[in-house]
Structure 1
């Protein structure tokens, strides 16, 4: 047993050490549990009262709480777990000497990650803790994936809706702009400065709406589903324009550095999808920054050579927090992105040091 525990501790990186709070009013039991957890490589601490438990959970980060159901004081472990569930995403395992149906049914309402019936041995404790932490991480990952898939579906819906309603929007917008012009002429004739300002504001906002619709329609239209020599600069500009309003709202500066690159033989709409997926990933990463100032995405185009062949290289760099749980590498969109690039005989890599996506497309000269 000692060798097993020692190897676990040695193989566990210091940065991966999980922090566990033990809530147990029997001091000897709490000390023994913490000692066992530390032997398995966890960072464990304990409290014996409900208020101390709530205070610790509010002020510190924990990966797991081991909660005794029967505690001395005004609140029992189930009530504390209920408070944790409402305010934090921390898995809870109940420790109890009571396994009656009424207690279990009441505890179920807090959706615990397991139960340990006292007395339990160190191996049972270790397995329960490992499984609870793993299950919690999987659930968080699933929520992230669902959120990202919903985001992708939103873009698809926006594109379809934009194409369908553009005519319905542009007709009344044209009328509004014409009326604004008439009001502006009337304001000039009567020297009404207030009316003039309002007419100009109406025209300005109408133009802005028209531009948004134009960008959406332009991006959603299938420019060419066939293979053709395409201008990556234009495709990239279209993608940035499509996301422009979101960048403005979120304070993101998106810079484009265009090198002298030739047209690429590709399917333009699929390359648009690749760029959208990767820039969306960069957008999510920069939005993890605590400060809203200085959020930046840089996209560069250049020509690179390898093994006597030339490629167009597209680098999408961001200055966001590196959170892989937020990253495209954790979701199904990466498979789609990679398959499109592979279909184009290109390559995609993630450079963590520079926080960049880099993909290449071969330069094929016309016959």
Structure 2
């Protein structure tokens, strides 16, 4: 059972979950947090805490170490650390060396010894939330820098590949044409089929190189009215060889979608990150048959405003336990979408990422 103590009037109010099995203490902590402008709820059992953290977004968890039941607060905090990015402050009456050493392994953002006063609680909470936001910002900046460096490297390599591959490929295609012509003159059907196969495979290689160069050199970060259908098609083409190798069917459902005002390369990065996440999810399936990713574009409205809704749906196996690199990619993705005045959410029932971009009419 979860008990709410606080206000929901402001959307930017920080949400805090208190995990404390002594009800009076939990209520007092929540009341104090309310006085300082936070929204707070409390749970008394480990399973309730894990369910609540999975179901809702919290900016901070205040965790009592000694809880009734099979799991203590340190074990719960360890699970949170493995799956979520939520700062944890421990609340405990114990300050022995063994407890502190166990707690340190979960990298908490604070440690309050009971009894503590309201001012100490407030300072600890503010510092933990601030530190968490700074760390997240640093990760986003570092990830964006790494992403930019990666694309610069890809563009450089792609340019070299294009030069080194296209020249001999042109010769191969010319020779294949000559062989096909000779085969036709001599009515050598077998040789003609082989020449056609050489041409087909050479053209496939040329297309791969063209897609790589085109995708890597689309570094335009300027704001412009862009065709999302084209951006999405480019992204699928870029990942096409992965899909073929892994037996993944990637379907696109695109209607008559208006252009959106965006930074095309950044939206490509968002699509690439989310489709890559879907790819990882479908690869968790035990069977290799029927792996599918479906990407759809549609128009939706919210408070009279039009948005393009992009849904990336997969039929993957169990939900992923995200690693640091995936979390960083998700941070960057959220940041880019927020920069474009859109929203991102995860629909676990549909196993889908859904994000929106506003439709802005040209002036």
TM-score bin (small chain): 0.5 to 0.7
Q: Which one of 267, 284, 287 corresponds to residue 283 of structure 2?
A: 287
TM-score (norm 1): 0.60
Task: Determine the C-alpha separation between the residues in 1 that align with 2:188 and 2:230.
Answer: 43
**Could you say if the C-alpha distance between residues 355 and 287 of structure 1 is closer, same or farther in structure 2, counting changes exceeding 3 Å?**
same
Paired residues of 1:281 and 1:327 also in contact (CA < 8 A): no
Verify: 1:41 aligned to 2:64, yes or no. no
Verify: 1:298 aligned to 2:294, yes or no. yes
Spell out, residue by residue over 1:177-209, the C-alpha distance to the aligned partner (whole angstroms, 9 max, x if none).
000000111122223333223222211111110
Q: Which residue does 1:227 correspond to in 2? A: 223
User: How much does 1:325 deviate?
Assistant: 1.6
Q: Which residue does 1:195 correspond to in 2? A: 191
Verify: 1:354 aligned to 2:350, yes or no. yes
Spell out, residue by residue over 1:264-323, the C-alpha distance to the aligned partner (whole angstroms, 9 max, x if none).
011111111111111111111111111111111111111111111111111111111243
Spell out, residue by residue over 1:311-348, the C-alpha distance to the aligned partner (whole angstroms, 9 max, x if none).
11111111112433247895111121112111111111
Q: Which residue does 2:92 correspond to in 1? A: none
Spell out, residue by residue over 1:212-253, the C-alpha distance to the aligned partner (whole angstroms, 9 max, x if none).
001111111226332111110000000001101110111111
Task: Determine the C-alpha separation between the residues in 1 that align with 2:236 and 2:346.
Answer: 21
Paired residues of 1:261 and 1:302 also in contact (CA < 8 A): yes
TM-score (norm 2): 0.61
Paired residues of 1:230 and 1:268 also in contact (CA < 8 A): yes
Task: Determine the C-alpha separation between the residues in 1 that align with 2:335 and 2:288.
Answer: 34
Tell me which structure has the larger Cα radius of gyration. Answer: 1
Paired residues of 2:46 and 2:69 also in contact (CA < 8 A): no
Q: Which residue does 1:323 correspond to in 2? A: 319
Q: Secondary structure at the match of 1:366?
A: coil
Verify: 1:184 aligned to 2:180, yes or no. yes
Verify: 1:241 aligned to 2:237, yes or no. yes
Q: CA RMSD for the aligned pairs?
A: 3.8
Q: Which residue does 1:266 correspond to in 2? A: 262
Paired residues of 1:281 and 1:328 also in contact (CA < 8 A): no
Q: Secondary structure at the match of 1:256?
A: strand
Q: Which residue does 2:334 correspond to in 1? A: 338
Give unmatched runs, 5+ long, in structure 1.
Answer: 17-38, 43-62, 64-122, 136-144
Spell out, residue by residue over 1:33-61, the C-alpha distance to the aligned partner (whole angstroms, 9 max, x if none).
xxxxxx8616xxxxxxxxxxxxxxxxxxx
**Could you say if the C-alpha distance between residues 326 and 296 of structure 1 is closer, same or farther in structure 2, counting changes exceeding 3 Å?**
farther
Q: Secondary structure at the match of 2:321?
A: helix
Corresponding pairs, count: 258
Task: Determine the C-alpha separation between the residues in 2 that align with 1:224 and 1:268.
Answer: 7
